[in-house]
Amino acid sequence: MVTRFKPLGAEEEARQLLTLYGGEGHLAAIMEFLRHHFDVIQARSQLLLTLATLALTITGFSGPKIAQTNLFARYSMAIGIVFVLTAVVILLAGGLRIRWTTQFLGGPGEESLVRIIRYRNHKTRLYFAELGFLVIGLSAYVASVVTYLLYGP
């Protein structure tokens, strides 16, 4: 039987990290650990941006031809472009926004960690929103390409 674990809240995660690392005397090591989390989010966001850019570029070349296929191809391509562009806007305005972990320092170490963890969690939620919009957009775009392949000239 699989046991489901509920993710820790930011406060509990900060306490767990302080316990794991041996207290506030090791705050720098904990911040380095959390910095790697931001690296993962950044790398995955870059991948989404690359996929979105490819989709928009390909649409620029083949979009008019595909749109001539029929009404479904035209609408699915338009919907796809809107969702991909929405993903890019969220990505550029939120996901790739820069805030340094040192900007969250001040007060007790645990409070600083809680602020950093909350920010990481916010960026993670943005990533999943970006991913969702991109998947919907790419799916609609692929539907228009399939329609073109089935019904096009």
Q: What is the pTM of this model?
A: 0.87
* Residue 30 in domain: yes
* Residue 2 in domain: no
Give pLDDT tens digits for 123-149: 999 999 999 999 999 999 999 999 999
* Residue 4 in domain: no
Q: How many domains does the chain have?
A: 1
- The residue range of the domain holding 125 is 10-151
* Residue 3 in domain: no
Give pLDDT tens digits for 26-85: 899 999 999 999 999 999 999 999 999 998 888 888 888 998 899 999 999 999 999 999
3-state secondary structure 16-65: HHHHHHCCHHHHHHHHHHHHHHHHHHHHHHHHHHHHHHHHHHHHHHHHHH
* Residue 107 in domain: yes
Give pLDDT tens digits for 2-12: 677 788 899 99
Tell the residue number behind the tokens 């320092």, with chain if given: 105
User: Residue 25 pLDDT > 70, yes or no?
Assistant: yes
